[in-house]
Chains A and B, each alone.
Chain A
Amino acid sequence: MGTRAHGERQLSGLAIDARGLSREFVREGTRLTAVDHIDLQLPRGAIFGFLGPNGAGKTTTIRLLLGLLEPTSGSVDVLGFDVRTQAAQIRERCGALLERDGLYDRLTAYENLQFFARAWHLPKEVRSARIRELLEHFGLWNRRNDPAGTWSRGMRQKLAIARALLHRPELVFLDEPTAGLDPAAAAALRDDLRALVRTEAVTVFLTTHNLAEAERVCDRIGILHSGKLRAVGTIDQLRSAAGSSIVNITGAGFTADRLAAVERATRVQIVEAHETALRATLPEPATAAPLVRALIEQGCDIEEVRRDTPTLEQLYLSLIGDTDAASAARGSADNRVHRGEEGL
């Protein structure tokens, strides 16, 4: 979506550096903690997925990072500026698509972008070219003179994303950006985000309930629940931290009496078994080595040992403590593994 117009950006340092960030509200005499001692260090030029159930505190966190709310305690620097004292400088360098698209229904699409382009002091000669570039990119140019209020949700969402990117911000907050978009448009947007990060070193702070999308597009993930940041890191880091207790073994000679002996010897639970393959749950935390040793001692042949890799959905559900949902998801994930493997 175009090349940089405002000079090179500083690539070093953190885009977001939050330490002990908290925000409390008092409602009807009750103190509510919306954000609870969040520590988050996000490097520049990355796509950060901020996940969490409704009411987890994602919106409050974004408002805090944009300097729209003041933290109750803790400190936050965004793009090197303190949110308490330099909120204006932060907002100047950020773009945002918040919970609602925030479009002016009575204004045309062009006027909506024109207003924000003026607000960000885009020079007159750059303004119209940039608006045209974005509207054409999102396939909205032919409808530019229609009031935004007459548009479909997907078109509005595209326009709101265009608005967030209009002034080439260093940091973009996108709250559910693909909500309302058709699959092709959502995929195109994901490509755009990756291209933005690659070519313009923009940092993207993305919230989504679409975990598959987060897994595909995000470099780092944070999972928020009840105001607390339960986990943060790359997807691989989260996976390795969570580990998996499910192990799949292929080989031969997995007879019932041998497996019963293995179970007695290792505290392993054999979930499913056939003559040439078995699936077992290890007692946590444990490696698969004692199980493999026991199987060999019982006379089984081992060809392959493979740990299940937890999906982001499994990680998410286990972290937010929704045990029923986690079990259901695990079951469905297991079924997917099942269908993909011969003999199991």
Chain B
Amino acid sequence: MIRDFLTVTWKEWREQLHIGGGKRGTILRALFSIGLLGVLWPWLIGPAFITTAVPIVFSIATSAMYVAAIVPDSFAGERERRTLETLLASRLPDSALLLGKIAACWSYGYLASLAMLAVGVITVNITHRAEGPFFFPPLTLFSALVLAALAAFAMAGAGVLVSLRSATVKQATQALATGLTLLLLLPAVLAQVAPRTWNNFVDWMGSTESPFHLLTRLGSALVLLSLVLLAVARRRFSRARLLVDS
């Protein structure tokens, strides 16, 4: 099972690395991302990028964003490029196919997020070398690493679920984008519709500035969400259904 899971993850990674015209395209895309998120942002924010709660939010956002960029391709891409049936006709078990694809998206998003954090630290220490050196407080770093991993996993689970049911990558991307937009609008809607509930929630979340509380509360929510998404995806994954829908 582990071997099959790693095989699927290996294939997904190879495909990702070949997007955009091989090695040159991959390197250019990576340089653009690093320039924007690893250099420009930390440079503009300065030491606060390291010493405050910013890295936690940054790592959560970037990991989820990177996952969201590739996860629509997971099953919808196979369906669109007519490779799904051959994949399903292989000996790879259902769980390896599903978890392998989730793991590939998760690892891609998480590693990209970590890379951006690392480059960000270097950038701030170079641009503010007179005031430095700077490094993340241990609990902040730990919270950023754990929450980024959980956010990436939740996004991978949600994305795979959407991709399973979509005919094309475009359709999956649109569905995922709509879902994320609604999720981002939810606080504003809640604040309008039920201001008391929303304020209580905000108070609860922000009852302390300690990253530990953010870690436990947001982390618990993300774990719960991930488990629900994984269970639903596992339940909806059926070779016959995937073929009939394609």
Contact = CB atoms under 8 A, between A and B. Distances in A.
A102 B15 contact: no
A106 B15 contact: yes
A92 B19 contact: no
Contacts of B19: 106
Contact of B10 (A67, A87, A94, A115): A115
A100 interface: yes
**Max chain A C-beta neighbours (<10 A), residue from B4, B86, B88:** B86
Majority-rule SS of B interface residues: helix
Contact of B243 (A68, A94, A120): A68
A239 interface: no
B92 A119 contact: yes
Contacts of B82: 100, 102
Interface in A133-168: 147, 163
Contacts, number: 72
Contacts of B15: 104, 106-107
Nearest to A105: B81
A88 B11 contact: no
B244 A99 contact: no
Interface string B63-95: 000000000000000000111011111111100
Contact of A91 (B4, B11, B91, B243): B91
B130 interface: no
A177 to B, nearest CB: 14
Contact of A116 (B18, B90, B244): B90
A105 B80 CA distance: 12
Interface residues of A, number: 32
A70 interface: yes
Interface residues of B, number: 26
A115 B11 contact: yes
Contacts of B7: 115, 118-119
Nearest to B85: A98
Contact of A69 (B14, B92, B240): B240
A29 to B, nearest CB: 16
A104 B92 CA distance: 16
Nearest to A173: B89
Interface in B1-46: 3-4, 7, 10-11, 14-15, 18-19, 22
A229 interface: no
B82 to A, nearest CB: 4
A104 B85 CA distance: 12
B91 A119 contact: yes
B239 interface: yes
B89 A104 contact: no
Nearest to A108: B18
B11 A104 contact: yes
Given A105-B81, A115-B7, A115-B10, A66 B18 contact: no
A68 B240 contact: yes
B85 A92 contact: no
A94 B86 CA distance: 12
B10 A88 contact: no
Contact of B87 (A67, A88, A102): A102
18 contacts: A68-B85, A68-B243, A87-B239, A91-B91, A100-B85, A103-B83, A104-B81, A105-B81, A106-B15, A107-B11, A107-B14, A107-B15, A115-B10, A115-B11, A116-B90, A120-B90, A147-B18, A147-B22
Given A98-B89, A107-B15, A115-B10, 4 more contacts: A69-B240, A87-B239, A106-B18, A121-B3
Interface of A: 25, 63, 66-70, 87-88, 91-92, 94, 96, 98-107, 111, 115-116, 118-121, 147, 163
Give the top 5 A-B pairs by smallest Cβ distance, nearest first: A102-B86, A100-B82, A106-B18, A92-B91, A118-B7
